[in-house]
Structure 1
Amino acid sequence: MSKIVDYELFEVPPRWLFLRVETSDGLVGWGEPVIEGRSKTVRTAVEELMNNYLLGEDPHHIEDHWQRMYRGGFYRGGPILMSAIAGIDQALWDLKGKHFETPVYDLLGGRARDRVRVYQWIGGDRPAEVGEAAREKVDEGFTALKMNATSEMRSVDTPQSVTDAADRIASVRKAVGPEIDIGVDFHGRVAKPMAKRLASALEPYDPFFIEEPVLPEQNESLPDIAAHTSIPIATGERMFSRWDFKQIFNDGAVDIIQPDLSHAGGITEVKKIASMAEAYDVALAPHCPLGPIALAACVQVDACSHNALIQEQSLNIHYNKGGDVLDYLADPNVFTYEEGYVDLPTDPGLGIEMNVDYIREQAEREVDWHNPVWRHDDGSVAEW
């Protein structure tokens, strides 16, 4: 019987944490357990889980391991624990696929598509001059883009702030035409009154979706916002389990869910969330501004989920300073984007091979990424 005998954690630029799990029969599985800006905290949680629940165990009992990690502690859920579980779960599925010499999606019922559509980020935290950037990405072959809608915004802001946001979207729509999808991320920066006003102002430019129009703790506002717009509503990157998603499914206001494979319990949990969403006619678009292991895990779930709509990926995203998705792969061609799609991987497990020497080298660098803390003109803290 195969057993888990060792693990290693690597904190690498720009802001990622990689987990390497080794078994007694010589197989290695990789996961990406991280909360952006809290990697050291998640690292400790992974160590607690691995030492208390996984070392010496058969790696194949993935569902049981998931339940023990989740239910084995009296306190459960939340971003830290669920991200730690997520990375471990990814590594276990990677190991199982390698043991059976097949991609993870074959173990989850087989593929439901031949390729996965992806979108490309344009602009930064404070979006500006996005029209030209949009045209460049479309020329590279992308058929869908995403951008931030605003910088910081007061709970009730000026008419000019709404006009500025609409003008930015208008410039992108003018640059790329009606055949390109444009996702617009409110990033939880917008309070309910402004979310309704912004949605109305953006309607003429037909956004693909508006993302996180309010913070998850204000999800009860989503039906009211949905009643004010025909734009599809997306949310979910800061929701961490199927129980977190129950209410928005019941409310019927969300059209696209965006659970993160490195935050929401990994492959095991997001596959369940995807199935719940399908029952409510809600599409899946996993959140992934992260590294190659997280992206590989997303593609495995997208491959076998009928309601998978599109996949976020972080190549050249504004956060990636000092490292990018393809840098850590032995064969970066596994994520070749053509016509706005990525082909399904065919190698076993997660379908990627990590460049271990490069990972060890980069792990020697100091990594201390934290998101900025923004403030309003009066000095109060603003949502980033």
Structure 2
Amino acid sequence: MSLAAFLTPESHSTCRPVGASVLGQRLESPADIADITRRVWQDSMNVLQAPHIYSGVEMALWDLLGKRYEEPVYRLLGYDKAFAKQPYVVVPFAAVPEQTFERMRHIRQAGYRAVKTGWSGFGHGNIASDLSQLAAAREGLGADARLFIDAARIWGCDVVAAKRYCPLFDQFSIEWVEEPFDPTALNAYADFAAHHGRMRLAAGENIHSIQQAQQLLNIAGIGVIQIDCGRVGGIGAAKEIAQYADLRCARYINHTYTSHLALSASLQAYAGLERQDLCEYPMDPTSLSWSICREHLLVGGDGEVTIPNAPGLGITISLDDLQRYVVDLEIRIGRTTLYRTPSIR
């Protein structure tokens, strides 16, 4: 899908391929990235995949520029220094509470002090079952750990159903609940924020523009905005949202569940904001996304993650490992080949 959006022939003036606004453009300064971004939003506004594919392109542009000037991306963004972040890991509920307890106990023993959990049927209305899962998670982690819930849009637009769970969130000290409603259900978010508390409500991973983030903060009234750099338009857009959230005394958090290359890109956007001290942290050492990166942002002895003080994003790709996952692909229209998988070496 992303390759098609990058290459697809022009339909009309606002339905051009993303590549037409990128390839051949000058890349000498952050201002050039801003110019390319404006061109993409103007010329590809009716290509619905454009924000997703351009997010990856934009991150690569920052990485290239940082390597050219031998500066980390956060400095090119205007930050003097990068502040370390406390990681939280994502650990879904298991099938039964006993297994959930063991999962959380293992995470605690591994040194993590913050966890986001949920899924596995949570929120479908069986409050007794959900209470047991929350109790197991809290017991396994310990009373002093930070615990968050991802409701995964389970309540749609039903604020009444969400409010039934507030006593459980209070009982087990759930710091915030993420995406209880559909991403565009602004009125539902506003109602729930007024009831449960602005700083106890998170959303944002599914949005794809700065303006949508501002609506979540201004209209929906949430206090925790969680942004995916790979969906919102890249590092520049994420930085603008992070600074906007910081000015409004809201919490900004990255949404990252893939590689540490993506993690580094996400952290650059709010590296210099000292008050924004929490990050979502992908920890699976057996996955594709882990193996393709030569370096990783490891958790230090102080329990925090430090952003690389290295050119660009500070992460290099292992081409040998990547090669194992390459799949041959060709995109052709008539007799014209638009794309063929290239050699990565």
Q: Is the pair's TM-score, using the shorter chain for normalization, greater than 0.5?
A: yes
Between the aligned partners of 2:289 and 2:308, the Cα distance in structure 1 is 16
CA 358–296 in structure 1, closer or farther in 2 if over 3 Å, else same: same
Match of 1:216 in 2: 183
Question: Retained in 2: the 8 A contact 1:285–1:308?
Answer: yes
Q: How far, CA to CA, are the matches of 1:247 and 1:169 in structure 2? A: 31
The one of 168, 192, 200 equivalent to 1:232 is: 200
Give the distance between the partners of 2:51 and 2:111, measured in 1 at CA: 35
SS in 1 for 2:38: helix
Separation in 2 of the partners of 1:63 and 1:52?
16
- Among residues 172, 188, 191, which one is paired with 1:205 in the alignment? 172
CA contact (8 A) 1:150 1:165 kept: no
> 1-side partners of 2:191 and 2:282: how far apart?
32
Structure 1: runs of 5 or more not aligned: 1-40, 367-384
Deviation at 1:42, TM superposition (A): 1.9
* CA displacement at 1:153 relative to structure 2: 5.3
SS of the residue 2:34 aligns to: helix
Give 1:252 shift: 6.2
- Aligned residue type for 2:41: Y
CA deviation string 1:293-343 (max 9, x = no partner): 211101212312344231112222xxx9x73432111234x4345443211
Instruction: Say if 1:111 and 1:166 are closer, same or farther in 2 by CA, change over 3 A.
Output: farther
Matching residue within 130, 143, 152 for 1:165? 130
Q: TM-score, with normalisation over the residues of structure 2?
A: 0.83
> Identity of counterpart residues, as a percentage?
24
- Distance in 2 separating the partners of 1:306 and 1:270: 16
Question: Equivalent residue for 1:59?
Answer: 27
Q: Distance in 2 between matches of 1:151 and 1:125?
A: 10
- 1:42 and 2:2 aligned: yes
Q: 1:221 to 1:347 in 2, by over 3 A?
A: same
Cα distance change of structure 1 residues 346 and 113 upon mapping to structure 2, 3 Å threshold: closer
1:35 paired residue number: none
SS of structure 1 residue aligned to 2:112: coil
RMSD between aligned residues: 2.4
1:233-272 to 2 correspondences below 5 Å: 233-251=201-219, 253-272=221-240
Q: 1:338 to 1:145 in 2, by over 3 A?
A: farther
Distance 1:189 1:365 in 2: 38
Query: CA offset at residue 229 of structure 1?
Result: 2.0
TM-score of the aligned structures, taking structure 1 as reference length: 0.75
- Change beyond 3 A, Cα 1:176–1:139: same
Aligned mate of 2:323, from 360, 381, 384: 360
Which has the higher relative contact order, 1 or 2, with Cα contacts under 8 A spaced 6 or more apart? 1
Equivalent in the alignment of 1:293: 261
**In 1: Cα distance, 2:19 partner to 2:213 partner:** 30
Letter in 2 for 1:42: S
Structure 2 counterpart of 1:146, from 106, 109, 116: 116
**Does structure 2 conserve the Cα–Cα contact (< 8 Å) formed by 1:142 and 1:339?**
no
Between the aligned partners of 1:338 and 1:356, the Cα distance in structure 2 is 30
CA 1:358 to 1:91, structure 2 compared with 1: closer, same or farther past 3 Å?
Answer: same
Distance 1:111 1:283, change over 3 A: farther
Cross-structure match for 1:343: 306
Distance (whole Å) between structure 2 residues aligned to residue 112 and residue 183 of structure 1: 28
Residues 204 and 216 in structure 2, CA contact (< 8 A), matched pair in contact too: no
Q: How far off is 1:147 after superposition?
A: 0.6
8 Å CA contact 2:116–2:149 kept in 1: the answer is: yes
Number of residue pairs matched?
314
- Counterpart residue identity of residue 226, structure 2: Q
Q: Does 1:175 align with 2:175?
A: no
With over 3 angstroms needed to count, the CA separation of the structure-2 counterparts of 1:110 and 1:315, relative to structure 1, is same
- The one-letter amino acid of 1:326's match is W
Q: Quote the Cα distance in structure 2 between the aligned partners of 1:74 and 1:212.
A: 26
